Amino acid sequence: MNKIFSAITTFVFVMLFATISCAQTNNQTSLKIALTKQSKSYTGWIERHEENVEFFNLYEMNFNNAMRLLAYCDGLILTGGEDVFPGFYNQTSDTLFCGTIDKYRDSLEFAVIDMALKLKMPILGVCRGEQILNISQGGSLYVDIPSEYDTSVVHRQKDWKNCYHQVSLVEESDLAEISAVTMGDVTSNHHQGIKKLGEGLKITAYTADSLPEAIEWEVRGNKGFLMAVQWHPERMDTLHPLSAPIAKEFLKEAELYRNR
């Protein structure tokens, strides 16, 4: 059975490789973007700023194929979704305060983050994506903001389409430079947030209650592009200064990575 399974896996990967190679031959200019869990809101957001993009949903692949395919991509988007298992930051006892947990997704995302960092591939994180990036660098989270953090700021509500709050940007950050604003209203939908900041990262936006809302490298140096936000830019107005510039900067970095 193991030999049969191995043969099937090999066949699938060969076909996948052939498809990618064909796409590269027929369309040399398309950007190839991997998403950890794809949805139309994310692909539509990116396509509003660049039509010539191929998307790959890593979550729908088995682990080995997802890792192999990532190497052919020009950028990685860590999308929103389930809570990250708190055992990854030594708070297993707080699992009771979590919602849905997907340990396969956790393990997949930690692995692709590690690979993307080694490849110096551009990484963009949204909501859960910001949180797991922070954890991957040794950081931790407030497992449940309403019960752990005294605040009047509403970070999540049932009507998530109208859950807006203000964020203030930190000067001398890439986020402030590309957005050209000092503050703005953003839509969010989260009950967790950064508690301990991961190593090598810096906070680039805060809410009025001082919770971190965006991160990037403290010193980029020769590392790849990395930016992550707690809000949902893919759900915001196309031209919003805290949505469009983020997508455009990521796409610019992906193109530089492809052409390097």
CB contact at 8 A, 127 and 231 = yes
Strand order in the sheet with 201-207: 53-57, 31-35, 75-78, 123-126, 226-229, 212-217, 201-207, 164-169, 183-187
At residue 224's C-alpha, the angle toward residues 69 and 32, to 5°, is 35
191 is catalytic: no
Run of H or E including 12:
helix 2-26
Residue 237 and residue 243: Cα distance in Å, rounded?
A: 7
> Is 163 considered catalytic here?
no
Is 249 marked active-site? no
Catalytic residue among 73, 127, 191, 216: 127
Tell me the three state secondary structure of residue 120: coil
Q: Which of 191, 232, 249, 253 is catalytic?
A: 232
What are the structure tokens assigned to 154, written together?
């509403």
Tokens representing residue 49 in the block: 């700023």
Catalytic residue among 109, 130, 213, 234: 234
Q: Would you say 216 and 124 are in contact if contact means Cβ atoms under 8 Å apart?
A: no
- Residues labelled catalytic: 127, 232, 234
